[in-house]
């Protein structure tokens, strides 16, 4: 049951839960959002773009979502894309077509904020040309135009979804913005400029479909609150990639922390009742940037192989290492995490020894929380605690008592070192492979 359970709550008792990643992304948020959607009437995406993917496995069938909230697989649930998302029109419509080809109704249930900035071809060209120009110093972006689109938003020259309602205004805004960007592409980055007419014509051809889904999302969410409906707010990437709080400059271009749900969807912070932090039982990172517990050895290779650690959107291999509690403490601070969900525990089955990083040695002395900035993080030498592993399988376990004793002890120590209770444990990719200890909605 989906909306019914939420609608049945007493008046004024609707609950809103924010799901965020607490590491460098790829923590398995999509599966958890999908699982929790049975309790809600709506799922809200509040930041990022189509540079991050959520992989869902339901009854053995895999679905990869990039822009559309993970609740779309539940009939009757409304999905919202908030103003904090930068939206690629072509990527969105392509994703919708993929889902609808599999008999999933999308367009009647998807509401997109009028205020969403659009990612357009010149943003992609800028992103890719900049990375190429950086050479070995490249940041490791996905090349999908996310950063340049956020830059335009902050510079107040973004093309927003609502601009598609006024063709003359749209053309004038495109001409002005593209005059600047084409100059940079051609004369600074030595790349090909983008034709204004082509971008304009493509947008006009997509506008009718897009505008049918456009909505005043803050108003709709406010009305859902008045009806005491439960809502789920879904973040992309992870807290350590946050533009302000992550390992800058090796970060994404948006705020990934729980507080961004308010600004990125248009709801007051008092309406965000529970923050569920998703973390793997080990640690991964994609792209450039420091990674204190990275294992460039057989351990890292084993985790990557067993965890299928490749980006769901880009296919890029993920760097793998031991669990980093010091990094997670930073995520606890900046998110106000209520409870943790540990994912991919089954990947560590069969390891003779497992390790937890509990702090760092640095040139300035011992610290127990991830410092600010990439340069400082690069100087961190992890301090490990070793624990015995377990030979029994945890895959598919659905009760705490089903877990091997050493796996239980590992999770308890993880929770103790981080300073947050464990609410859920994911023991496999399928929706039902989940141990529930403390339900965020109950």
Where in the sequence numbering do the catalytic residues fall? 26, 54
Assess contact for 115 and 162: CB atoms under 8 A.
yes
Please give the Cα distance from 273 to 441 (Å, whole number). 9
Please give the Cα distance from 329 to 245 (Å, whole number). 12
Half-sphere exposure of 150 (CA within 13 A, CB side): 16
Task: Read off the tokens for 228.
Answer: 């005491």
Assess contact for 106 and 213: CB atoms under 8 A.
no
> Which residue, among 16, 60, 21, has the nearest Cα to 42 in the 3D structure?
16
Please give the Cα distance from 158 to 118 (Å, whole number). 7
Distances (CA, A) of 166 to 90, 179, 190: 19, 20, 33
DSSP string, 325-384: HHHHHHHHHHHT-SEEEEE-GGGGTT-SEEEEEEEEEETTEEESSPPSSHHHHHT-EEEE
> Which residue, among 275, 400, 428, has the nearest Cα to 343 in the 3D structure?
428
Please give the Cα distance from 374 to 386 (Å, whole number). 27
391 Cβ contact partners less than 8 Å away, ≥ 6 residues apart? 349, 350, 404
Please give the Cα distance from 109 to 122 (Å, whole number). 30
Kindly state the DSSP code that residue 67 receives in the 8-state scheme: S
CB atoms within 10 A of CB 297: 9
83 Cβ contact partners less than 8 Å away, ≥ 6 residues apart? 113, 114, 115, 116, 217, 218, 264, 265, 266
Residue 325, classified by CB atoms within 10 Å of its CB into exposed (0-12), middle (13-18) or buried (19+), is buried
CB atoms within 10 A of CB 265: 28
């Amino acid at each position: 049951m989906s909306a019914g359970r939420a609608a049945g709550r007493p008046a004024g008792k609707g609950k809103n839960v924010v799901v965020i990643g607490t590491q460098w992304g790829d923590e398995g948020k999509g599966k958890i959002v999908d699982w929790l959607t049975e309790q809600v009437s709506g799922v809200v995406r509040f930041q990022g773009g189509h540079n991050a993917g959520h992989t869902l496995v339901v009854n053995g069938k895999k679905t990869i979502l990039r822009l559309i909230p993970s609740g779309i697989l539940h009939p009757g649930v409304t999905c919202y894309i908030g103003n904090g998302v930068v939206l690629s029109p072509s990527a969105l419509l392509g994703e919708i077509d993929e889902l609808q080809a599999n008999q999933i109704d999308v367009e009647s249930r998807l509401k997109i904020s009028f205020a969403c900035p659009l990612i357009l071809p010149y943003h992609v060209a800028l992103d890719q040309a900049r990375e190429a120009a950086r050479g070995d110093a490249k940041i490791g972006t996905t090349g999908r135009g996310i950063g340049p689109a956020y830059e335009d938003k902050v510079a107040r020259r973004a093309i927003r979804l609502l601009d598609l309602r006024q063709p003359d205004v749209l053309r004038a805004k495109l001409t002005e913005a593209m005059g600047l960007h084409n100059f940079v592409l051609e004369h600074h980055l030595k790349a090909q400029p983008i034709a204004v007419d082509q971008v304009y014509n493509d947008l006009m051809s997509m506008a009718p479909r897009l505008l049918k889904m456009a909505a005043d999302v803050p108003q709709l969410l406010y009305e859902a609150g008045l009806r005491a409906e439960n809502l789920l707010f879904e973040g992309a990437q992870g807290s350590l990639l946050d533009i302000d709080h992550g390992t800058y400059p090796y970060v994404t271009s948006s705020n990934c922390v729980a507080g961004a749900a308010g600004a990125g969807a248009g709801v007051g912070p008092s309406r965000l009742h529970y923050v569920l932090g998703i973390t793997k039982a080990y640690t991964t990172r994609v792209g450039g940037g420091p990674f204190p517990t990275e294992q460039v050895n057989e351990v890292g290779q084993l985790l990557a192989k067993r965890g299928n650690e490749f980006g769901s959107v880009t296919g890029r291999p993920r760097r793998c290492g031991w669990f980093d509690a010091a990094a997670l403490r930073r995520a606890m601070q900046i998110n106000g995490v209520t409870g943790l969900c540990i994912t991919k525990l089954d990947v560590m089955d069969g390891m003779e020894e497992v390790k937890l990083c509990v702090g760092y040695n640095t040139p300035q002395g011992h610290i127990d929380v991830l410092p600010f900035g990439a340069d400082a993080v690069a100087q961190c030498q992890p301090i490990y605690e070793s624990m015995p592993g377990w030979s029994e399988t945890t895959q598919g376990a659905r009760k705490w008592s089903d877990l091997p004793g050493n796996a239980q002890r590992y999770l308890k120590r993880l929770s103790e070192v981080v300073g947050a209770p464990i609410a859920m444990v994911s023991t496999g990719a399928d929706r039902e492979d989940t141990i529930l200890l403390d339900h965020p909605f109950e």
